[in-house]
Amino acid sequence: MNLHWRSFLVSSAANFSEPAKESSNGTPSADTVLDFGDARGELQAATQHTVLVPLTHLAVIEAGGADAQNFLHSQLTSDIKALAKHTARHAGWCTPKGRLLASFIVSREADNYRLLLAEDLRAFCEKRLRMYVLRAKVTLNADEALVVLGLAGAQIAETLATAGLPCPEALLSCARHGAIEILRLDAQRVILFCPLAQAPDLWAQLANKARPAGLPVWQWLDVENALPLVTLATQEAFVPQMLDLEKIGALSFNKGCYPGQEIVARTQYLGKVKRHLYRVSATVPLLAGEEIFSPEQADQSVGRIVNGAPTPDGGFTALAVIQANYAASARLGARDGAALTAHAVYAD
Per-residue pLDDT of 307-339, as tens digits, reads 999 999 999 999 999 999 999 999 999 999 999
CATH of the domain at 258: 3.30.1360.120
**In this predicted structure, what is the pLDDT of residue 348?**
65
**In this predicted structure, what is the pLDDT of residue 23?**
44
Q: Are residues 163 and 59 in the same domain?
A: yes
The 10s digit of each residue's pLDDT in 223-239 is 999 999 999 999 999 99
**In this predicted structure, what is the pLDDT of residue 26?**
34
Domain tally, the chain:
2
What pTM value is reported for the model? Answer: 0.95
Question: Would you say 311 and 224 are in contact if contact means Cβ atoms under 8 Å apart?
Answer: no
DSSP secondary structure string for all residues of 62-108: EEESTTHHHHHHHHBSS-GGG--TTEEEEEEEE-TTS-EEEEEEEEE
Residues 86-106 as b/e (b if ≥16 CB within 10 A, e otherwise) read bbbbbbbbbeeebbbbbbbbb
- 68 sits in the region (left: phi over 0; alpha: psi -120 to 50; else beta) called alpha
Question: Would you say 162 and 208 are in contact if contact means Cβ atoms under 8 Å apart?
Answer: yes
Give which of 41, 34, 29 is closest to 14, Cα–Cα: 34
Q: Are residues 126 and 40 in the same domain?
A: yes
CATH of the domain at 305: 2.40.30.110
Question: What's the CA angle centered on 145, arms 140 and 151, to 5 degrees?
Answer: 105
For residues 116 and 137, give the distance between their C-alpha atoms in angstroms, rounded to a whole number.
Answer: 21
For residues 258 and 240, give the distance between their C-alpha atoms in angstroms, rounded to a whole number.
Answer: 13
Give which of 70, 61, 109 is closest to 88, Cα–Cα: 109
For residue 98, tell me if it sits in a domain. Answer: yes
Q: Which residues of the chain have pLDDT under 70?
A: 19-30, 348
For residue 233, tell me if it sits in a domain. Answer: no
Q: Are residues 135 and 113 in the same domain?
A: yes
Find the domain containing 293 and state its range.
Answer: 274-348
Query: With the CA atoms of 214, 220, 222 and 224 taken in that order, what torsion angle do they form, in degrees rounded to the nearest 10?
Result: -150
Q: Are residues 4 and 23 in the same domain?
A: yes
Q: Are residues 158 and 294 in the same domain?
A: no
Question: Would you say 277 and 346 are in contact if contact means Cβ atoms under 8 Å apart?
Answer: yes
Question: What's the CA angle centered on 276, arms 252 and 341, to 5 degrees?
Answer: 150
Which of 270, 287, 322 is where one domain is finished? 270
Q: Are residues 186 and 311 in the same domain?
A: no
**In this predicted structure, what is the pLDDT of residue 30?**
53
Q: Are residues 24 and 147 in the same domain?
A: yes
Q: Are residues 60 and 193 in the same domain?
A: yes
Q: Are residues 25 and 38 in the same domain?
A: yes
Q: Are residues 171 and 248 in the same domain?
A: yes
Q: Are residues 294 and 208 in the same domain?
A: no
Q: Are residues 207 and 305 in the same domain?
A: no
